[in-house]
Amino acid sequence: MLPAFLFLLASTQAFAQTDSLPSWNDGAAKKAIVEFVKATTEKGSAKFVAPEARIAVFDQDGTTWVEQPMYTQLIYCLERVPAVVKAKPELKNVEPFKTVLSGNREAMANFTMPQLEMIVAATLSGMTVDEFNSEVKKWLATAKHPRFDRLYTDLTYQPMQEVMKLFRASGYKTYFVTGGGQDFVRVYSEQIYGIPPEQVVGSAGATHFGYDKSGKPNLVKVPKLLLNDDSAGKPEGIHLMIGRRPVAAIGNSIGDKQMLEYTQAGAGARLMMLVHHDDDKREYAYGAKSKVGTFTDALMAQAKKNSWNVISMKDDWKRIFAFDK
């Protein structure tokens, strides 16, 4: 029998030889990731990145889980409307709440941005942060995706889970930098992705510190936007919340453009990638050429020009979800 410390050595070496991205097909995307991680963490490498500077940022919706037919958080907000109206019956006959209560999905799809903002404000504020956390947790435990008939938290992309694990195993801190609500994503990010709340940068509303009726201190969510974490807001949010420039950034849409540009503008080795939704059989196809969605032709052109790696879900991923064969 080997002494314990030799077992440790042996298992470390075994790990290094194992395929850490088993859900990926061999190809340029997989190669780029594996080689980047190796080059930035191997001692003596010309591209070595100091451990404290190893920051990898990931968009969430459409990059690490499904964002169709609608952002999960928006579905949450719409499904919270009945509870909000129950507490404030005066909203019953007021738009856009009236339409939400009618269940007319076609009409809801045509909501204007100000109408959506009214729904978001009404459903994401007015409660303490603890109450909000438990409401979201409760919803996530039962709400299911209309097409896949699975919990939303089951719909993460297994290949991206592997990438996040590979980065972490190599001393990187993995962050979400999402246009979604920071408080919403934080509820499940640790359990579902291994990303702790303090490593979630997202669109953030203000809170108000005060005391409840019994005198107990609390934080109440208020409808005031502090950070719109999309497009230019992403590098701005990264600076606000992290304070370092990432060395790796992965997104999937035009809203991730500035985050990738900011990442690339740093000195030394950098990895910029975009997930391209081109697989309508296993997931959805709404990328370049589809004329819908947020992976525009202009983004594809910039990816080419800037040497950003484009990940084809169809070609690069052996499977999409953990529950796929």
Helices 72-87 and 129-140 meet at what angle, rounded to 10? 120
Phi/psi at 38 (nearest 5 deg)? Answer: -65, -50
Residue 55 or 85: which CB sits closer to its own copies? 55
CA 116, CA 97: separation in Å to the nearest integer? 10
Q: How far is the CB of 227 from its own copies (least distance, A)?
A: 8
Residue 100 or 227: which CB sits closer to its own copies? 227
> Burial, 22: exposed, middle or buried (Cβ in 10 Å; 0-12, 13-18, 19+)?
exposed
CA 79, CA 64: separation in Å to the nearest integer? 23
Residue 103 or 243: which CB sits closer to its own copies? 243
Residue 236 or 279: which CB sits closer to its own copies? 236
| CA within 13 Å, CB half, 131 | 12
What is the end-to-end Cα distance of the chain in Å, rounded?
37
Cis status, amide bond into 235, omega within 30 of 0: no
Which position has the token pair 């606000």? 240
Binding-site member from 113, 209, 213, 292 for its own copies (CB under 8 A): 209
CA 4, CA 284: separation in Å to the nearest integer? 48
Number of Cβ within 10 Å of residue 184's Cβ equals 24
Residue 186 or 314: which CB sits closer to its own copies? 186
Q: Is 129 in the site for its own copies (CB under 8 A)?
A: yes
Binding-site member from 52, 90, 106, 149 for its own copies (CB under 8 A): 52
Q: How far is the CB of 76 from its own copies (least distance, A)?
A: 18
Q: Is 276 in the site for its own copies (CB under 8 A)?
A: no
Residue 71 or 176: which CB sits closer to its own copies? 176
Binding-site member from 30, 54, 80, 173 for its own copies (CB under 8 A): 173
Binding-site member from 227, 248, 299, 311 for its own copies (CB under 8 A): 227
CA 64, CA 127: separation in Å to the nearest integer? 29
- Using DSSP's 3-state secondary structure scheme, residue 14 falls into helix
CA 272, CA 305: separation in Å to the nearest integer? 12
Binding-site member from 32, 39, 84, 219 for its own copies (CB under 8 A): 219
Q: How far is the CB of 93 from its own copies (least distance, A)?
A: 35
Q: Is 183 in the site for its own copies (CB under 8 A)?
A: yes
Residue 264 or 312: which CB sits closer to its own copies? 264
Q: Is 85 in the site for its own copies (CB under 8 A)?
A: no
Binding site for its own copies (CB under 8 A): 3-5, 52, 55, 129, 173, 182-183, 186, 190, 196-198, 200, 204, 206-210, 216-219, 226-227, 232-233, 235-236, 239-244, 258, 261-262, 264-265
